[in-house]
Amino acid sequence: MALSKKPTTGMKDILPEEMEIRDYCIQIIKETYGSFGFTSIETPAVENIANLTNKQGGDNEKLIFKILKRGEKLNISGAESEDDVVDGGLRYDLTVPLVRYYSNNSAVLPSPFKALQMGNVWRADRPQRGRYRQFMQCDIDILGEVSNLAETELILATTTTLGRLGFSNFQIRINERRILKAMAAYSGFAEDSYESVFITLDKMDKIGMDGVKKELVENGFDEASADKYLALFEGITDAKGKDAVTALNSLADTLGEYLPKEVGISLTEIIEAVEATKTADFDIVFDPTLVRGMSYYTGTIFEIAMPEFGGSCGGGGRYDRMVGKFTGQDVPACGFSIGFERIVMLLMERGFKVPDKKGRVAFLIEKGISGERLSGIIKTAQEKRDEGTKVLMVRMNKNKKFQKEQLEKQGYTEFEEFYMEELKH
């Protein structure tokens, strides 16, 4: 009969202190993205198992929490494999559900469609510190906008949100899949080896130029190609704002016919527009080493780098051919995801407290106070609540000092005490 008190392996109970920060972030995020015309949508946590296992999810497909069939459809003793007993699974990201949602509802959705999704996803990853099997993702996507207005708006919406959440001095690192490809082609790598080259390039921040060269050669690539390739990156790293545009144009000149002209022009437009209109305190950085793992990106790619947090704190890009893979008809698409759990963690670590509108008051009411006297006290509380003050009504404990200390930890800074004999007050 006894419950196991612990949450299920790898998942966590969220305590009030963290929840307050999460609720605050959710509100700021919804409000800010809303001001950019993004509309919230929601899909079920459960998707048909076939939708989750069609190879769009890469390694995440190995981590699915699968759902057992029910009723007559389930035949355990006759089953030979998982496929025989499951019909659903918990979503491992919000992209597959978005694409399904869009194809299911496109007739009634505006075009372009600007979607905001905040929702939990589940992955049966090996449990480790700070990573949980249930976590919230926060994605914005624009479907049906072919121009780079999509990229600019996504970057501005995301950075404005981060700014309002109190983050500054971060970077948006930006690149283009077609620049990656042009650089590889220019250097003489064969087209079917690009993905392998990019996997090595992606390690640049960890192993440096020399490490990348060494790994390329070890992987059997021509040393001359490796040298030519690495020379392209010289002096570009961390080129910000106007310098980013200069570095980009210089690289485009070098690449010549390997890079379609419009790629350089479009990326320049995005960088210049963001630089000219940004409201948060961040730098936009052209980073030709930025790869981003997911191979479904077709154009611009970007990532948030936070000085306080080693790795990436979100990212995204253009994926113009993904909807088509599912529906048969391509739809231009571009998205940006912020690392919600990391943002909450960073706010917790810096001791962030959610600002109260009008403070918090605790009413300590001596035991025995009832009837009209109690109603009078409640009336006072109701008036304060109506003005936006948080009012907690509690019975007074014998150890009032300890009780107040505990309440102070919950953010109650003011106290009013009510006694049976009014004079004592």
Q: Which is nearer to its own copies, 192 or 372 (CB)?
A: 372
- Which helix (H) or strand (E) segment holds residue 35: the answer is helix 16-35
Neighbour-count burial of 405, counting CB atoms closer than 10 A to its CB (0-12 exposed, 13-18 middle, 19+ buried): exposed
The residue (of 21 and 232) whose beta carbon lies closer to its own copies is 21
By beta-carbon proximity to its own copies, the closer residue of 103 and 312 is 103
If the CB atoms of residues 76 and 423 are measured against its own copies, the closer one turns out to be: 76
The Cα 298–Cα 259 span in angstroms is 14
Q: How far apart are CA 405 and CA 392, in angstroms?
A: 14
Place of tokens 């050669």: 217
How far apart are CB 230 and its own copies at their closest, in Å?
33
Indicate whether 269 belongs to the interface with its own copies (CB under 8 A).
yes
Q: 37 vs 235, which CB is nearer to its own copies?
A: 37
Answer for which of 138, 239, 273, 290 binds its own copies (CB under 8 A) is 273
Region for 398 from its dihedrals, namely left if φ exceeds 0, alpha if ψ lies in -120 to 50, beta otherwise: alpha
What residues from 308 to 337 belong to the interface with its own copies (CB under 8 A)? 325-328
User: Rounded CA gap, 262 and 259, in Å?
Assistant: 8
CB closer to its own copies out of 71 and 351: 71
On the CB side of 220, CA atoms within 13 Å amount to 3
CA–CA separation, 159 vs 274, rounded Å?
Answer: 10
Distance, CA of 134 to CA of 151 (rounded, Å):
29
Amino acid at 321: R
Cα dist from 332 to 42, 43, 140, 314, 329, whole Å: 21, 21, 14, 21, 10
Residues 51-110 binding its own copies (CB under 8 A) are 51, 54, 65-68, 70, 74, 76-77, 79-82, 84-88, 90, 96, 99-101, 103-105, 108-110
For position 121 contacting its own copies by CB under 8 A, the verdict is no
- Which residues in 215-244 contact its own copies (CB under 8 A)? none
**Residues 123-182 contacting its own copies, CB under 8 A:** 124, 134, 145, 147, 149, 152-153, 156, 160
From the list 185-193, 194-202, 223-231, 357-365, the region that binds its own copies by CB under 8 A is 357-365
Residues 373 to 412 in contact with its own copies, rule: CB under 8 A: 374-375, 378-379, 382, 385-386, 388-395, 406-407, 410
214 near its own copies (CB under 8 A) = no
Smallest gap from residue 59 Cβ to its own copies (A): 15
